[in-house]
Structure 1
Amino acid sequence: MKIRINNRTSYSYSKPVFLEPHFLRLRPREDPAQHVLEFSLDISPEPGGLGYGLDPDSNWLTSIWFDKQTEVLEVAVKTVVETLRSNPFDFVLTSPEFSMRSSLYTDDLRQRLGHVLTPIGGGAASELAHSVGTKEGLMAYLTGLNSLIKESFQVVYREFGNPLTPAETIEAGAGACRDLAVLFIDACRTVGIAARFASGYLAASDVPEEHTLHAWAEVYLPGAGWRGFDPTLGLMVADAHVCLAVSSLYVGAAPLTGTFRGTGASSKMTTLIEVERLDGKI
């Protein structure tokens, strides 16, 4: 599937400010599930400098810095991505069985996956994680957990802000896509399954957040590698998702980060995201 995305993020400041270096993760990832066909990036005001690299999670990272004050910052991205994974189950597991009492991974793999095996919620997701049975194997457990979150929590819209903690989401009984992703990740890690945060876009017409950034989880499956699970939808990730960035923590997958200096200055952020399937408009 080919998907066109336009993303315009604007910041306005109450008085002239000096922008510290900003870091963008707005170019979609290149991996077996997707390929970037077109990409353009426009920044206003023009940066004093710009550089490209990879961050610790191998996301495409654009660094920008400025040499004068400004009252606005606008970042506009236009991209066309071809998504390639129409069947999310195109794999064979080397360890299909799953038990919470034994390790899913070899010692070598556990060492390499260490940072995505550490629980982040202080045990808040333990009851949720242990409420799903394991007798039917790893995939049944993961799809069951995915469905349980979808069925048990109301999806709400919250455009800005960090994810809620797993405890906050459980207490509220509701969450935005990023909150449910963090809850799924913490539940997985609680029972020894490697999981990480993914941010990007969703080209679907049946989700309230279709024209905002979307978030989901990825799980490392023995024999299959990283595979996406979307607890907002209760589905595995296929060709309707476009991934921008992944990380063990939400902050490492944030599309744009940076600060400013200016005594007494305040800022306001607005975003406009358009997602279009090239085989028909969303």
Structure 2
Amino acid sequence: MLLKINHETRYVYDTPVQYGLQQLRLRPKERPGQEIKNWAIEIEGGCLELSFTDQHCNHVDLINIERGRTEIVIRCRGAVENSDGSGIIGSQAGFAPLWYFKRHTDLTKPGPRVRKLVNSLGDDFETDIAKVHALSAAVLENVSYRTGQTNADTDAETALKTGEGVCQDHSHIFCAAARLMGFPARYVSGYLMMSDRIDQDATHGWAEAYVDRLGWVGFDISNGYSPDERYIRIATGLDYREASPISGLRYGAGGEDMIVTLQVQQ
């Protein structure tokens, strides 16, 4: 499936920026089953300082916001051809060893609610893949999809307590629980072509667990199935913060607004 993406993120600042940096993870991963036909990133109001590959093999661009700007625009355009691997990504290809993906973070640290969720699954599974599929279903059963109840700093325990959340929350809970069960797990940020719309207001997020003899396997907990050819993997990390499409810092007073326009279509 050949997918076309148009993605724009616009930051509008209340006061002129004195100094600011944006870290972009917006270039899709090149891998078997995902081929980048063309991809371009345009910056309005900033300039590229350097590019590097991080420990997760994410391509990272560091953008310097021009001094005195009250707006910066980041545009991504391109085409990616995907094939359906039934959610199976395969062997580990990054610089980090597998044990690294068993580490807990502030957003995925297991507490009593995560432990209770894991214990509720029991041990009656013939295979490991059946076990992690059951975990994915259990996360969605305990935390229904609803926007506006959590934010980017909500951790797995808090999301479970709230009982409502979005794809980021589902993925953090899954990673926390999977690691507690002994599986390496990671967060994935990317794009999803939806069947009922072209225009979207945000990128997507899901999780992957490493299963013996299969390698990395994806789980879109929010939608209840494994990623197929409609998904484009952009970045991976231990949690959302390590795989966030855009992150950064800014010196100066005043607030900011972020406006996202996104189209994903065949």
Report the TM range for the smaller structure's normalisation: 0.7 to 0.9
In structure 2, how many angstroms separate the alpha carbons of the residues matched to 1:58 and 1:253?
11
Within a 5 Å distance, the mapping from 1:214-229 to structure 2 comes to 214-229=204-219
Deviation at 1:140, TM superposition (A): 1.0
2:227 to 219, 233, 237: 237
- Opposite residue 82 of structure 1, the aligned amino acid is E
1:65/1:211 CA distance change after superposition, 3 Å: closer
- Opposite residue 132 of structure 1, the aligned amino acid is L
Does 2:110 match 1:122? yes
In structure 2, how many angstroms separate the alpha carbons of the residues matched to 1:115 and 1:203?
31
Post-superposition Cα deviations, 1:14-59, rounded to whole Å, max 9, x if no partner, equal 1211232321001111122311111111101241x43222012110
- 2:19 matched residue in structure 1: 19
CA contact (8 A) 1:149 1:234 kept: no
In structure 1, how many angstroms separate the alpha carbons of the residues matched to 2:88 and 2:98?
22
Deviation at 1:243, TM superposition (A): 1.0
- Coordinate RMSD, CA, aligned: 2.4
In structure 1, how many angstroms separate the alpha carbons of the residues matched to 2:206 and 2:74?
24
Does 2:33 match 1:43? no
In structure 2, how many angstroms separate the alpha carbons of the residues matched to 1:151 and 1:139?
19
Within a 5 Å distance, the mapping from 1:1-282 to structure 2 comes to 1-47=1-47, 49-66=48-65, 68-88=67-87, 112-119=97-104, 120-123=108-111, 124-134=113-123, 135-158=125-148, 161-205=151-195, 211-262=201-252, 264-277=253-266
Secondary structure in structure 2 of the residue aligned to 1:259: strand
1:260/1:211 CA distance change after superposition, 3 Å: closer
Secondary structure in structure 2 of the residue aligned to 1:144: helix
CA contact (8 A) 2:188 2:208 kept: yes
CA contact (8 A) 1:23 1:62 kept: yes
CA contact (8 A) 2:109 2:176 kept: yes
Q: Which ranges of structure 1 fall in alignment gaps of 5 or more residues?
A: 94-110, 278-282
Deviation at 1:158, TM superposition (A): 4.3
Q: How many residues align?
A: 256
Q: What TM-score, normalized by structure 1, do the two folds share?
A: 0.83
1:177/1:163 CA distance change after superposition, 3 Å: farther
Q: What TM-score, normalized by structure 2, do the two folds share?
A: 0.88
Secondary structure in structure 1 of the residue aligned to 2:222: coil
1:160/1:58 CA distance change after superposition, 3 Å: farther
Post-superposition Cα deviations, 1:48-77, rounded to whole Å, max 9, x if no partner, equal x43222012110111122453211110000
CA contact (8 A) 1:163 1:182 kept: no
In structure 1, how many angstroms separate the alpha carbons of the residues matched to 2:120 and 2:229?
30
Deviation at 1:88, TM superposition (A): 3.3
- 1:107 matched residue in structure 2: none
Post-superposition Cα deviations, 1:142-166, rounded to whole Å, max 9, x if no partner, equal 1111122223321012499415212
Deviation at 1:82, TM superposition (A): 0.9
| Regions of 4+ moved over 6 Å | none
Once the two structures are aligned, what percentage of the paired residues are identical? 26
CA contact (8 A) 2:23 2:60 kept: yes
Secondary structure in structure 1 of the residue aligned to 2:67: coil
Choose 1 or 2 for highest CA Rg: 1
CA contact (8 A) 2:87 2:219 kept: no
Deviation at 1:89, TM superposition (A): 5.9
Secondary structure in structure 1 of the residue aligned to 2:11: strand
CA contact (8 A) 2:28 2:233 kept: yes
